[in-house]
């Protein structure tokens, strides 16, 4: 508990003290030895899994049961995605980037690339995608997010969190969010039941939702 409180206090004083968050975490947790599972990542701590979660209100296009008679309509939608890495993380110390990808054709298929700044106080860039079956294997869904400049938020137990929410009023780092969903027996990826019309225009939707958030958890 004392270590956790120290992380929170010290993280808030990073700029004033001129210390790097990587060094702070390394000192508090005693570093780590790279073992091929996430490498010697943030502060030398080895991470084994990453979970990327986001939620905010958007609009999606919905295809009707008979598109010849009724054209697709734009509808409000509560988008929620929680995407966990699958398999062994790779850490590139040169670029401070974590990557992981399941084999093509996997269900679910998950691919992540998450780069940190030199101090570890910010996720510099994040690219995550997932394609998976759901609804008793009757439906298929695609989620993709591209974002930048997501700040360090906190440490809880053996997890380190980066987060953006309504408190970050001037944040403009949401580059793209894509979402598609379709019944395997009726639709296809090219002709889905639900889809985002323009994935590059999601920042406005994100800004308008008071309950918005993007959170990335690095688990030891």
pLDDT at 128 > cutoff 80 = yes
Q: What is the pLDDT of residues 134-191, one digit of tens each?
A: 999 999 999 999 999 999 999 999 999 999 999 999 999 999 999 999 999 999 999 9
Burial 99-120 (b: 16+ CB within 10 A, else e): bbbbeeeeeebbbbbbbbbebb
Q: How confident is the model at residue 26 (pLDDT cuts 50, 70, 90)?
A: very low
For tokens 């008793």, name the residue. Answer: 136
Bridging pattern class, strands 139-156 and 109-116? unpaired
Q: How far is 27 from 87, CA to CA, in rounded Å?
A: 28
CB contact set of 137 (below 8 Å; sequence gap of 6+):
184
**Where along the chain do its domains lie?**
33-219
Distance in angstroms (rounded) separating the CA atoms of residues 107 and 63: 25
Alpha carbon 55 to chain centroid distance? 10
- CB contact at 8 A, 127 and 146: yes
To which residue do tokens 């054709």 refer?
105
- For 45-97, write each residue's pLDDT tens digit: 889 999 999 999 999 999 977 767 788 999 999 999 999 999 999 999 999 99
């Amino acid at each position: 508990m004392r270590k956790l409180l120290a992380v929170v206090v010290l993280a808030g004083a990073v700029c004033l003290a001129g210390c790097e968050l990587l060094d702070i975490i390394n000192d508090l947790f005693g570093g780590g030895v790279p073992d091929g599972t996430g490498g010697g990542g943030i502060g030398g701590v080895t991470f084994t899994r990453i979970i990327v979660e986001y939620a905010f209100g958007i609009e999606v296009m919905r295809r009707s049961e008979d598109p010849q008679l009724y054209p697709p309509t734009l509808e409000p939608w509560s988008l929620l995605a929680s995407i966990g890495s699958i398999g062994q993380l790779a850490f590139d110390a040169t670029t401070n980037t974590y990557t992981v990808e399941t084999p093509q054709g996997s269900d679910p298929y998950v691919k992540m690339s998450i780069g940190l700044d030199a101090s570890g106080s910010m996720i510099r860039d994040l690219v995550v995608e997932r394609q998976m079956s759901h609804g008793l294997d009757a439906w298929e869904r695609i989620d993709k997010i591209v974002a930048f400049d997501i700040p360090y938020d906190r440490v809880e137990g053996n997890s380190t969190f980066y987060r953006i929410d309504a408190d970050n009023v001037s944040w403009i780092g949401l580059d793209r969010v894509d979402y598609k969903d379709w019944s395997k027996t009726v639709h296809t990826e090219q002709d889905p039941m639900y889809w985002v019309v323009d994935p590059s225009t999601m920042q406005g939707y994100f800004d308008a939702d008071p309950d918005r958030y993007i959170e990335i958890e690095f688990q030891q």
